[in-house]
């Protein structure tokens, strides 16, 4: 009797179970993680490309990076400084966009490289894990195979069962081999993927190296451009010197005109005196001629009377002789006749004496008449000479006046050219003095040697708690004024812009910065140390008086308003505000009109000071945790200048906007509540809208959001082109204000990078 060996229960091994053993079912595949990271990289790259403008420039011009670097400056005359500068500004703008684009590409490539390195590391770790799991599976299969062999040894008598078990084990072994082959195939694919990733990493490194070379070339080219810009600035200084020489020549011509005018006045007085003497001489001559005619008439009458008496005497003598010879008249008759004869002789003698006297008087009158005629001839000659002299002086005066007008036109042209070379939108940075209570200063202006202002400013952020120093940031602007710079130093730099307003340009100057950074001090100042607005008024009135000597006449009208809680408020009005509020309207010519706004004619700077005191007494000012006298509104001073010259038929219309912006505040620091909270929100909203407008202008956006704020809507003509704009960014050196100062400097850098349209002159022929 044979003993039956009991069956050992067999377990069927699933290949999928063996393949997935030791593997998490929810783990991501490496290829999926690579695709996700690549998608994220592409999304970040796409967002960066949307922010930069190089692709737009490349699409519009067809330029590549190498093509831009190979571009040469051609097509401009060496004397056409303005054209060269405009071409250089466009090229510099393209270079800036290209550098930003290359910098962004380099950062993206570095990010891709880091991502690929991380992916490669993860793939290596997963490969090692899978190899370990495969070894574990192989060890498990070996153990299971030994168990089966032991079962086969023990089940020698159950051969058929063992054969079936063998077949089953062979099937399981085939499945295991298939699983091993799949694992090997997967390992081969992972190795190929790893090689591809390594190849991509090498390509990325090559591209990064090439981009770095291009970046170095761009930096070298930018350095050359900066040197070229410095040369242009030296040429601008030479033009300024030439303008100063022309102004000196203009002053000399003005003094010569004044001298010729005085000489002409004296000559005119002499001519009038000679004319009076000539008229008096002509009257004396006429009187003498009348007297001569009267004497001639009396002489003729006396001669006739003498002849009559002589004839009567002859008749009497004849009668006497006749009487003596014929009748012998009596003695009495003879005596009577003798007496009559004596009377007649006496009368004849007196008549002869009268005739002699009349002849002498006639000769005297004739001499005086001849002298009067000679004097009249001399006076006529002198009159002709004086008239010729007057004509020559008037001709010289006309020539001198024409030269003065020509020099004035040339001065305006040179002045406008210099201002255009400096740019239609400029940024000046001013750092107020440090106060001991504010702690350590974090802002350092980079001043040039031997000057009171430079072009760079450096900000050092506060360090960390573990002692590490904070990061440093460097910014460059058109001008940087240190704490020691005076109001005179600052106004000296903007005085030429003020002159542009008198020449018929539209000019806007505004101060930007956090509360307590010195904006109001810069724009308004104090009575003993006035700011930019009072000094600009003095400059305009002084220059207008000089132009009045050349025949110019000016009419100046001033207005002052504030933008408080997104509403326009008239600071010079005496009554209540209009029911619908003030409205700002811009016409097609760029003129800005504010409805129901008080506009006052001003003739001298003293009148402007009175208006400003009156307006500032109504401005909204309040105390916050950051500033005891904080401006709670944007203050806008506008001066409209209308000029005309009858001599040349010219006219000009200039506008000068001087704006003191309210300071930006953080609610966490200002601790504003109630009305102050509402004011702070309105201020921050308008300043944020101003930043959006600047960003849109800098990126050449199709739509500029001017209507997002009352401030940006009022500044549209100044920011949108057709005006010369200057921005003061005022900074506080306090360490606790470092964050706000850095934000202000970044905003100022955006403004400095913007380009607006060329300013249009608002002068032309005089209209009747």
Residue ranges of the annotated binding site for ATP are 513-520
Determine which helix (DSSP H) or strand (DSSP E) holds 278, and give its type and residue range: helix 159-326
3-state secondary structure of 723: coil
Annotated binding site: 513-520
Q: Distance (Å, rounded) from C-alpha 404 to C-alpha 546?
A: 12
Q: Distance (Å, rounded) from C-alpha 709 to C-alpha 712?
A: 5
Q: Distance (Å, rounded) from C-alpha 468 to C-alpha 458?
A: 18
Q: Name residues whose C-beta falls within 8 Å of residue 302's C-beta, 6 or more positions apart in sequence.
A: 351, 354, 355, 358
Asked if 73 and 88 count as a contact pair (C-beta separation under 8 A), the reply is: yes
Q: Which residue has the tokens 């303005």?
A: 82
3-state secondary structure of 570: strand
Helix, strand, coil percentages for the chain (3-state, nearest 5): 65, 15, 25
Return the half-sphere exposure (C-beta side, CA atoms, 13 A cut-off) of residue 421: 24
Classify the C-alpha dihedral 485-489-493-494 as positive or negative.
positive
Q: Distance (Å, rounded) from C-alpha 460 to C-alpha 491?
A: 29
> With b meaning 16 or more CB within 10 Å and e meaning fewer, what string describes 596-615?
ebbeeebeebebbbebbeeb
Q: Name residues whose C-beta falls within 8 Å of residue 139's C-beta, 6 or more positions apart in sequence.
A: none
3-state secondary structure of 4: coil
User: Of how many residues is the chain composed?
Assistant: 768
Q: Which residue has the tokens 């005066």?
A: 397
Q: Distance (Å, rounded) from C-alpha 25 to C-alpha 411?
A: 83
Asked if 502 and 645 count as a contact pair (C-beta separation under 8 A), the reply is: no
Q: Is 604 left (phi over 0), alpha (psi -120 to 50) or beta?
A: beta
**Among 521, 442, 445, residue whose Cα is nearest residue 741:** 442
Asked if 454 and 430 count as a contact pair (C-beta separation under 8 A), the reply is: no
**Among 56, 227, 225, 100, residue whose Cα is nearest residue 750:** 100
């Amino acid at each position: 009797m044979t003993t039956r060996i009991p069956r050992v229960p067999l377990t069927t091994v699933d290949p999928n179970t063996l393949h997935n053993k030791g593997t998490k079912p929810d783990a991501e595949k490496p290829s999926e993680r690579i695709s996700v990271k690549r998608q994220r990289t592409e999304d970040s790259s796409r967002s960066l490309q949307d922010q930069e403008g190089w692709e737009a420039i490349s699409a519009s011009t067809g330029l590549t990076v190498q093509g831009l670097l190979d571009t040469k400056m051609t097509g401009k005359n060496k004397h056409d400084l303005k054209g060269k500068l405009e071409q250089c500004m466009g090229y510099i703008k393209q270079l800036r966009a290209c550098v930003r684009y290359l910098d962004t590409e380099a950062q993206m490539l570095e990010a891709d490289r880091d991502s690929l390195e991380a992916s490669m590391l993860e793939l290596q770790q997963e490969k090692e894990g899978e190899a370990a799991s495969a070894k574990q599976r192989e060890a498990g299969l070996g153990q299971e195979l030994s168990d089966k062999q032991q079962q086969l040894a023990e089940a020698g008598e159950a051969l058929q069962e063992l054969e079936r078990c063998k077949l089953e084990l062979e099937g399981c072994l085939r499945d295991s081999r298939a699983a091993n082959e799949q694992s090997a195939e997967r390992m081969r694919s992972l190795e190929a993927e790893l090689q591809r990733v390594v190849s991509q990493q090498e390509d990325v490194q090559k591209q990064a190296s090439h981009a770095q070379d291009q970046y170095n070339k761009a930096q070298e080219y930018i350095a050359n451009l900066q040197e070229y810009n410095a040369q242009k600035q030296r040429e601008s200084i030479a033009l300024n010197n030439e303008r100063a020489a022309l102004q000196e020549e203009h002053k000399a011509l003005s003094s010569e005109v004044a001298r010729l005018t005085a000489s002409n006045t004296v000559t005119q007085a002499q001519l009038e005196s000679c004319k009076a003497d000539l008229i008096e001489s002509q009257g004396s001559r006429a009187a003498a001629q009348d007297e001569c005619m009267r004497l001639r008439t009396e002489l003729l009458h006396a001669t006739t009377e003498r002849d009559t008496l002589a004839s009567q005497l002859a008749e009497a003598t004849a009668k006497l002789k006749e009487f003596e010879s014929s009748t012998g008249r009596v003695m009495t008759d003879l005596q009577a006749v003798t007496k009559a004869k004596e009377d007649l002789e006496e009368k004849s003698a007196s008549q002869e004496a009268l005739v002699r006297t009349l002849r002498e008087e006639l000769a005297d009158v004739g001499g005086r008449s001849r002298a009067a005629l000679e004097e009249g001839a001399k006076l006529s000659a002198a009159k002709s000479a004086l008239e010729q002299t007057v004509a020559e002086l008037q001709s010289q005066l006309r020539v001198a006046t024409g030269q003065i007008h020509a020099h004035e036109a040339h001065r305006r042209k040179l002045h406008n050219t210099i201002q255009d070379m400096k740019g239609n939108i400029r940024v000046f940075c001013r750092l107020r003095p440090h106060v001991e209570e504010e702690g350590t200063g974090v802002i350092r202006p980079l001043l040039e040697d031997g000057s009171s202002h430079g072009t760079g400013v450096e900000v050092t952020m506060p360090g960390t708690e573990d002692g590490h120093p904070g990061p440093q940031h460097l910014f460059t602007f058109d001008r940087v004024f240190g704490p020691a710079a005076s109001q005179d130093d600052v106004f000296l730099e903007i005085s030429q812009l003020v002159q542009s307003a008198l020449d018929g340009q539209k000019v806007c100057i505004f101060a930007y910065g956090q509360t307590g950074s010195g904006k109001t001090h810069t724009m308004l100042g104090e009575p003993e140390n006035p700011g930019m607005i009072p000094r600009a008024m003095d400059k305009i009135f002084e220059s207008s008086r000089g132009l009045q000597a050349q025949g110019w006449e000016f009419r100046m009208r001033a207005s002052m308003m504030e933008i408080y809680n997104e509403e326009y408020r008239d600071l010079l009005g005496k009554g209540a505000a209009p029911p619908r509020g003030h409205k700002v309207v811009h016409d097609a010519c760029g003129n800005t009109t504010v409805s129901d706004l008080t506009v006052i004619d001003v003739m001298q700077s003293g009148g402007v000071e009175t208006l400003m005191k009156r307006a500032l007494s109504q401005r909204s000012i309040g105390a916050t945790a950051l500033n005891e006298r904080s401006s709670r509104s944007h203050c806008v001073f506008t001066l409209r200048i209308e000029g005309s010259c009858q001599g040349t038929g010219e006219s000009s219309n200039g506008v000068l906007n001087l704006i003191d912006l309210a300071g930006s505040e953080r609610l966490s620091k200002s601790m504003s509540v109630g009305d102050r909270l509402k004011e702070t929100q309105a201020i921050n909203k308008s300043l944020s809208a101003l930043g959006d407008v600047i960003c849109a202008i800098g990126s050449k956006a199709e739509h500029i959001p001017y209507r997002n704020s009352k401030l940006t809507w009022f500044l549209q003509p100044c920011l949108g082109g057709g005006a010369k704009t200057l921005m003061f960014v005022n900074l506080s050196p306090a360490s606790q204000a470092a964050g706000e100062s850095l934000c202000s400097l970044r905003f100022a850098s955006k403004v400095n990078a913007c380009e607006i349209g060329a300013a249009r002159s608002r002068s032309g022929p005089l209209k009747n």
